[in-house]
Amino acid sequence: MTIANQPWEIHDFLQEAANFNLNPKYQRLPVWKGTRKPLLIDSILRGYDLPKFYVTVLSQNPNRYEVTDGQQRLRTIIEFFENGFALLPDTIVDGIDVSRIRYSALPQTIKERFLRFTLSFSEILNAQQGEVNELFIRLQKGVELNPVELRHAMFSNLGFAIDDLLLDTHVAGFFNSSKIPIGRFKHQDYLDHAIAASFFGDTRDLKAEAMYELYKEYAVQDITPFNRHFRNAKRILRKMTEINEVELGVFKNKWSFVDAFRLLLENIQNIGAVNPSDFATLFKEFNEKRVEYRKEPEIALRSRRLGYGRELYDYINAFEKEAANRESLRIRKAALKAVFIEMFESEPREAS
């Protein structure tokens, strides 16, 4: 891998913008909010230096460049040029008041200042994908990446397979209707936990460290052992989509999603017997009671109206302590299994 430093004026970058892949798999989705975008443009108009942009030169790809570091700054430059947002109040440049003005309304001299600003690009040549991922992680050491962003910044065959799984029609259908936010790799995070739950069973925690080690272990290894778990995930998420259609957002909480997934996985052979409406109604009620009694779970034990007071009590205590802990996961699965067991029976039980 070699790196060559190249100056690019914003004018030149905008002409080539279509040839830049701003969203490689290991990068996070755009998360800049508030004043960060207009402050970047303000810095450009005042001639302040910006950190380097790292781009990988692609030899065989429709996109000539892939942005390794700096995609949010480049997106901001494009968005401002396309009138996507205005400058902040009280913005004065060279004695000219440009407060709350979008690009198209700027005086020509200020437009020229913007277009002629020089960006410092470091072009990465002859790099293997693993080297690019490692460089990205090193560049982010001064930026707080959450655990799932770090996992998906790794070069990992397992990570690539999970990204591809998100493109499956049924998997994408679930997440698109689930009300689970898409930002900062949240969909990948939920799916990571689903696959890990299927792969580990009850033998491991689902903590960030365990997930990271799983990605690392299967960085270059053959992922054929995961094919069965991918098939399970597709089947379960089809059923969860049906349930979610009854109660939109019923799986929005990550650990509620994980627990429901593990319950359905435990009973996957009888998953066809599950009535989506009945499951959605009971699961929503159960979680509403969890939230209601979370500070005083003993109330669940005293309630005569609940048919699952003991199970709810156990579930709350396990849920509130350390949700990713193996023992906590086991207790919650046992509690849900006791509450939902009849959902998986083709013929309802007779009352004793």
Within a domain: 31: yes
Rounded to whole angstroms, the Cα distance separating 295 from 274 reads: 32
Among 97, 123, 142, give the residue marking a domain's end: 142
Q: Where are the beta strands (DSSP E) in 140-212?
A: none
Within a domain: 120: yes
Domain residues for the domain of 123 are: 2-142
Same domain, 95 and 243: no
Rounded to whole angstroms, the Cα distance separating 100 from 40 reads: 14
Within a domain: 22: yes
Same domain, 38 and 166: no
Same domain, 101 and 156: no
Same domain, 320 and 207: yes
| Total domains, the chain | 2
- Give 17-22 contacts, CB < 8 A, sequence gap 24+: 17/74, 17/78, 19/63, 19/64, 19/65, 20/55, 20/63, 20/64, 20/65, 20/66, 20/67, 20/74, 21/58, 21/61, 21/63, 21/65, 21/66, 21/67, 22/67, 22/71, 22/74, 22/75
Same domain, 49 and 180: no
Within a domain: 352: no
Within a domain: 351: no
Q: Are 276 and 246 in contact (CB under 8 A)?
A: yes
Same domain, 22 and 67: yes
Within a domain: 349: no
Among 142, 161, 178, give the residue marking a domain's end: 142
pLDDT of residue 351: 42
Same domain, 170 and 127: no
pTM: 0.62
Same domain, 13 and 73: yes
Rounded to whole angstroms, the Cα distance separating 170 from 168 reads: 6
Same domain, 25 and 72: yes
pLDDT of residue 63: 52
Same domain, 125 and 185: no
List, in sequence order, every residue forming a beta bridge with 181; answer none if it has no partner: none
Rounded to whole angstroms, the Cα distance separating 133 from 10 reads: 26
Within a domain: 350: no
Within a domain: 254: yes
pLDDT of residue 280: 97
Rounded to whole angstroms, the Cα distance separating 241 from 223 reads: 26
Q: What averages of pLDDT result for each successive group of 10 residues across the chain (352 residues)? A: 81 91 65 80 89 75 72 92 93 91 95 94 68 54 64 77 88 92 85 89 86 85 91 95 96 95 94 96 96 93 88 95 90 95 69 38
Judging by DSSP bridges, how do beta strands 92-93 and 118-125 pair with one another? unpaired
**Residue 288, Cα to own-chain centre: how many angstroms?**
25
Same domain, 189 and 298: yes
Same domain, 133 and 162: no
Among 94, 116, 142, give the residue marking a domain's end: 142
pLDDT of residue 49: 82
